[in-house]
Amino acid sequence: MKNFLIVFFHILFAETIILIESPLQFINFLEYVHHYKKHKKRFKNKIICLIGIYENNISTIKKINKRYNNNNNKFVILKKNINFGFLLFLLKIRTFFSKIKLLIIGDINSYLNREFYKKSKKVILLDDGTNSLDYNNYKLITKKLAIFSIFNKKIFNHKNVTLNKLHFLKSKIKNQKSKKEIMILGSPFVEYNLINKKKYISLLKNIKYKFSNYKILYLPHPKEDYNYILKHNFFEVIKVNCPAEIYLVEKKFYPTKIIGFNSTAILTLKIMYENKIIFYNFDLNFRTKSKNKNSRKIILRHRKISSYFNEFLKIKNYYLEL
């Protein structure tokens, strides 16, 4: 009942509302506060609303908040404490007497976020990983919107874009040293039914052969079948309940090479470590003729990310025929 009342009054009366849906969005919120240090006190003890989020992500966000943010923010979980329909009803009531002064969101694709967007005077849009590559498809109200992004300004159909240089995360890795290791950032292509397990395992075998003189660590994607990768015993499989960026922040060493499959983490880690790490982007070069709308969407996104990495990050794409 207490949490319900907090949400109730927060939505009706708060001048600033922050909606976060993933650990990455929360990290980018901390980067935003760090970038604009003059606003640090303004966001201290602010309530952050967590929406549409899994339990393990909630615990990850709370861990990051405690370890790197001195517990400076409090959280309410909207999904648990209030019905979305009732939430929209509260938002509608609020518009009769005042708009939200400042809204901070990490995803413009979300229906709920777009409803809050309409009811706000000023909006800060944080990165939501590679979903940001689709922001130029939306007719955003430019006068009230500011974008804070790790992506090159040229990809946005918008003038008010501030580059997120990840200074907050960089400040945590100043004393790290390199180690002759390769880190592979896993992807849920098998789980998305884009390739079968046999082909994916064959791909991992080829990588192991190509870099046989390196110790190789494998970080599975949160949606990936950890046990299936583990049982093949190719690499040291690291099961982590946090983004790859936070995993590396907490280590004394960083790998000399990172291999990914169009993961957002390739971009963030390249910014964090600048030219200290060699990055490889293995493009699976999908040729599927799937009629599944979701599969086609993933494939198009995959190609768009490959193009961005190649054009703006100068990371060569290694195409692997399937």
CATH number at residue 227: 3.40.50
288 shares a domain with 148: no
Tokens at 105, concatenated: 């969101």
**Taking 70 as the threshold, does the pLDDT of residue 136 lie above it?**
no
Distance CA 218, CA 230 (A): 9
pLDDT cut 70: percent of the chain above it: 91
pLDDT of residue 156: 82
Q: How does pLDDT run across 229-251, given as a tens digit for each residue? A: 888 777 889 888 889 999 999 99
Place of tokens 């995959």: 302
65-94: burial string, b at 16+ Cβ within 10 Å, e else: beebbeebbebbbbeebbeeeebeeebeeb
Strands (E), 186-252: 215-219, 236-237
- In this prediction, residues 37-55 reach a mean pLDDT of 81
Q: Distance of CA 224 to CAs 110, 200, 227, Å?
A: 23, 12, 9
From the CB of residue 34, how many other CB atoms can be counted at a distance below 10 Å?
18
Q: How far apart are the first and last CA of the chain?
A: 54
**Taking 60 as the threshold, does the pLDDT of residue 56 lie above it?**
yes
207 shares a domain with 150: no
| 254 and 248 Cβ atoms separated by less than 8 Å | yes
pLDDT of residue 321: 56
**Taking 80 as the threshold, does the pLDDT of residue 287 lie above it?**
no
**Taking 60 as the threshold, does the pLDDT of residue 211 lie above it?**
yes
310 shares a domain with 188: yes
Tokens at 166, concatenated: 């990840």
pLDDT band at 285; cut points 50, 70, 90: low
**Taking 90 as the threshold, does the pLDDT of residue 305 lie above it?**
no
- In this prediction, residues 131-153 reach a mean pLDDT of 77
pLDDT of residue 312: 83
271 shares a domain with 133: no
Report the mean per-residue pLDDT for the chain.
85
Distance CA 8, CA 69 (A): 26
For the chain, the domain total comes to 2
Stronger pLDDT, 36 or 104, i.e. the higher one: 104
**Taking 70 as the threshold, does the pLDDT of residue 139 lie above it?**
no
Instruction: Show the CA angle centred on residue 117, arms to residues 114 and 119, nearest 5°.
Output: 120
Tokens at 101, concatenated: 């002064």
Distance CA 301, CA 306 (A): 9
Tokens at 270, concatenated: 């390249």
pLDDT band at 2; cut points 50, 70, 90: low
50 shares a domain with 89: yes
Q: Which of 74, 80, 65 is nearest to 45 (CA)?
A: 74
Distance CA 67, CA 54 (A): 20
Distance CA 203, CA 320 (A): 8
pLDDT band at 166; cut points 50, 70, 90: very high
**Taking 90 as the threshold, does the pLDDT of residue 123 lie above it?**
yes
**Taking 70 as the threshold, does the pLDDT of residue 310 lie above it?**
yes
Per DSSP bridges, beta strands 215-219 and 253-260 are: unpaired
- In this prediction, residues 302-311 reach a mean pLDDT of 82
Distance CA 246, CA 183 (A): 14
185 shares a domain with 66: no
Tokens at 162, concatenated: 């501030």
Domain termination residue (choose one: 137, 170, 203): 170
165 shares a domain with 61: yes
156 shares a domain with 269: no
Stronger pLDDT, 90 or 137, i.e. the higher one: 90
206 shares a domain with 162: no
pLDDT band at 80; cut points 50, 70, 90: low
249 shares a domain with 231: yes
**What dihedral do alpha carbons 205, 237, 173, 253 form, nearest 10°?**
-70
Residue 245, domain extent: 177-319
Q: Which of 60, 4, 26 is nearest to 222 (CA)?
A: 60
pLDDT cut 90: percent of the chain above it: 33
Tokens at 32, concatenated: 């935003």
Stronger pLDDT, 274 or 289, i.e. the higher one: 274
pLDDT band at 289; cut points 50, 70, 90: low
pLDDT band at 148; cut points 50, 70, 90: very high
Domain termination residue (choose one: 170, 185, 217): 170
222 shares a domain with 105: no
Looking at 124-128, 130-134, 316-320, which range is the least confident one?
A: 316-320
In angstroms and rounded to an integer, the radius of gyration of the C-alpha atoms of the chain is 21
**Taking 70 as the threshold, does the pLDDT of residue 288 lie above it?**
no
Domain termination residue (choose one: 143, 170, 197): 170
Stronger pLDDT, 29 or 44, i.e. the higher one: 29
- In this prediction, residues 267-271 reach a mean pLDDT of 93
Distance CA 212, CA 207 (A): 8
Q: Which of 84, 89, 78, 83 is nearest to 119 (CA)?
A: 89
105 shares a domain with 39: yes
Stronger pLDDT, 48 or 306, i.e. the higher one: 48
